[in-house]
Structure 1
Amino acid sequence: MLIFTNITWLDLCLAGAGVYLVKQAFRKNPAPYPPGPPGWPLIGNVADMPHNKAWLTFAKWRKKYGDISHVEVLGRHIIVLNSVEAAMALLDKKSSVYSDRPVLTMGGELVGWKYCMGFLSYGDRFRYYRKNIHRIIGSRAAMAVYEPIEEIETRRFLKRVFAKPEQLQAHIRHTAGAIILRISHGYEVKENNDRFVDLADRAMDQLSRSTDTGAFMVDIMPWLAKVPEWFPGAGFKCLAREWRQTLEELVEAPHKLFGDRELNTSQAAGVAPVSFTSNLLKGRTLSAEEDNMVKWSAVSLYTGGADTTVSTIYSIFLAMTLFPDVQKKAQAEIDAVVGTDRLPSFADRNSLPYIEALMKESLRWNVVVPIGIPHCVSEDDIYDGYYIPKGSLIIPNIWFMLNDPQTYANPSQFNPERFLGNDGKDPECEPRTISFGFGRRICPGLHLADASVWLSTMMSLAVFDISKIVENGVEHTPEVDSSSGAISHPKPFKCFIKPRSAKAIALIQEDVNY
Structure 2
Amino acid sequence: MTLSPLMLNSALIVLGLYILRRYSIRKNRFPVPPGPRGLPFVGNVLDMPTSHEWLAITEWTKRWGDIIHVNVLGKHFVFLHSAEDAVALLDKRSSKYSDRPTLIMAGELVGWVASLGLTRYGDRFRESRRFFSRIIGSKSALRPFHELIETEIHKFLRRLIYTPENVHEHIRKTASGIIMKITYGYSVMEGKDPYVEIVDRAMENFSITTTLGAFLVDALPILRYIPSWVPGARFKKLAAVWRAETMAMAEMPFAMVKQQMREGTALPSYTKNLLETETLTPEKEDNIKWSAASMYGGGADTTVSTIYSFFLAMTMYPEIQQKAKEEIDRVVGKDRLPTFADRENLPYVEAVVNEVLRLSPVVPLGGFHRASQDDIYKGYFIPKDTVVIANIWALLRDPERYPDPSAFNPDRYLHPNPNRNPREFIFGFGRRICPGLNLADTSVFFTCAMVLATFDISKAVENGVIIEPSGEYTAGSISHPKEFKCSIKPRTSKASSLILAEFEQ
Q: 1:144 to 1:43 in 2, by over 3 A?
A: same
What does residue 89 of structure 2 align with? 90
Unmatched 5+ stretches in structure 2: none
- Of 295, 304, 327, 1:301 maps to 295
Deviation at 1:100, TM superposition (A): 0.3
Is the 8 Å Cα contact of residues 52 and 215 (structure 1) preserved in structure 2?
no
What does residue 495 of structure 1 align with? 486
Is the 8 Å Cα contact of residues 69 and 77 (structure 2) preserved in structure 1?
yes
Q: Match of 2:307, SS? A: helix
The one-letter code sitting in structure 1 at the alignment partner of 2:418 is P
Deviation at 1:274, TM superposition (A): 2.0
Deviation at 1:284, TM superposition (A): 4.7
What does residue 472 of structure 1 align with? 463
Q: CA RMSD in A?
A: 2.1
In 2, the alpha carbon distance for the partners of 1:450 and 1:354 equals: 16
Alignment of 1:174-213 (within 5 A): 174-213=173-212
What does residue 289 of structure 1 align with? 283
In 2, the alpha carbon distance for the partners of 1:380 and 1:244 equals: 34
Q: 1:160 to 1:75 in 2, by over 3 A?
A: same
Between stretches 411-420 and 21-30, larger displacement belongs to 21-30
Say yes or no: does 1:134 pair with 2:133: yes
Q: 1:464 to 1:398 in 2, by over 3 A?
A: same
Q: 1:338 to 1:379 in 2, by over 3 A?
A: same
In 1, the alpha carbon distance for the partners of 2:243 and 2:56 equals: 30
In 2, the alpha carbon distance for the partners of 1:405 and 1:97 equals: 29
Between stretches 21-30 and 396-405, larger displacement belongs to 21-30
Q: 1:232 to 1:70 in 2, by over 3 A?
A: same
Is the 8 Å Cα contact of residues 227 and 234 (structure 1) preserved in structure 2?
yes
Output one character per residue of 1:464-507: Cα deviation in whole Å (capped at 9) or x when no partner: 00000111111111111111111100111000010100100101
Deviation at 1:57, TM superposition (A): 1.5
Is the 8 Å Cα contact of residues 51 and 215 (structure 1) preserved in structure 2?
yes
Q: TM-score, normalised by structure 1?
A: 0.94
Alignment of 1:243-322 (within 5 A): 243-265=242-264, 272-284=266-278, 286-322=280-316
In 1, the alpha carbon distance for the partners of 2:417 and 2:465 equals: 41
- Of 370, 377, 402, 1:383 maps to 377
Alignment of 1:436-447 (within 5 A): 436-447=427-438
Unmatched 5+ stretches in structure 1: 1-6, 267-271
Between stretches 349-358 and 26-35, larger displacement belongs to 26-35
What does residue 65 of structure 1 align with? 64
The one-letter code sitting in structure 2 at the alignment partner of 1:97 is K
In 2, the alpha carbon distance for the partners of 1:16 and 1:293 equals: 35
Say yes or no: does 1:108 pair with 2:99: no
Is the 8 Å Cα contact of residues 17 and 74 (structure 2) preserved in structure 1?
no
How many correspondences in the alignment? 500
In 1, the alpha carbon distance for the partners of 2:80 and 2:19 equals: 28
Is the 8 Å Cα contact of residues 304 and 443 (structure 1) preserved in structure 2?
no
Q: TM-score, normalised by structure 2?
A: 0.95
What does residue 330 of structure 1 align with? 324
The one-letter code sitting in structure 2 at the alignment partner of 1:339 is G
Output one character per residue of 1:199-229: Cα deviation in whole Å (capped at 9) or x when no partner: 1111111111111111111112211111111
The one-letter code sitting in structure 2 at the alignment partner of 1:145 is P
Q: 1:31 to 1:255 in 2, by over 3 A?
A: same
Between stretches 215-224 and 114-123, larger displacement belongs to 215-224
Q: What percentage of aligned pairs have identical amino acids? A: 51
Q: Match of 1:250, SS? A: helix
Between stretches 272-281 and 33-42, larger displacement belongs to 272-281
Q: Which has the larger radius of gyration?
A: 1
Deviation at 1:22, TM superposition (A): 8.8
The one-letter code sitting in structure 2 at the alignment partner of 1:120 is T
Deviation at 1:14, TM superposition (A): 8.2
In 2, the alpha carbon distance for the partners of 1:250 and 1:263 equals: 21
Output one character per residue of 1:52-107: Cα deviation in whole Å (capped at 9) or x when no partner: 11101110111111110101111111111111111111000000011000001110
Output one character per residue of 1:236-271: Cα deviation in whole Å (capped at 9) or x when no partner: 1111111110011111110111111222226xxxxx
What does residue 364 of structure 2 align with? 370
Deviation at 1:21, TM superposition (A): 4.8
